[in-house]
Amino acid sequence: TLAKDELKELMISAKKDESEFVRMQAENVERWTVMLAAGELTPAGYKKFVSKMDVLAKLETIKLEVAAKASAQRLADGIQKYVIDGLCKLL
C-alpha cells in the first residue's frame, strides 16, 4: 500500500514537471500500469517497457548534465573573453 501511494504521488508530481521528457515518461508508466492491471500487458512486457524507460531516463540525465556543463563552460569562456580579457584591460 505504501509503495502504491508513493508511486501515485510520483506520477502526479512527474505529470506536473516542466520537463516534457518527465511528463511523457509518467504518462507511459501510467498507461502501462493500467494495461498490466487490465491484462492487456504481461508482467514480462511491463518489466521490459519499464527497463527501457529506465535506460532512456539515464541517457536523458547524462544529456542534461552535459548540456549544463557546456552552458557553464560557455559562460566561463565568455567571462574570460569579454570581462577579464576585454573590459578589465580597458579599466
Q: How high is the pLDDT of residue 42? A: 93
Task: Provide the pLDDT for residue 31.
Answer: 92
In the chain, the percentage of residues whose pLDDT exceeds 70 is 90
Task: Give the pLDDT confidence score for residue 1 in this predicted structure.
Answer: 65
Pick from 83, 90, 28: which is nearest to 57 by CA? 28
Q: Which pLDDT tens digit goes with each residue over 30-74?
A: 898 899 999 999 999 999 998 898 899 999 989 889 888 888 888
Whether 50 contacts 32, CB under 8 Å: yes
Alpha-carbon radius of gyration of the chain: 21
Find how far residue 36's CA is from the centre of its chain.
Answer: 24
Which band of pLDDT confidence, cut at 50, 70 and 90, is reported for residue 87?
low
Do 27 and 15 touch, CB atoms closer than 8 A? yes
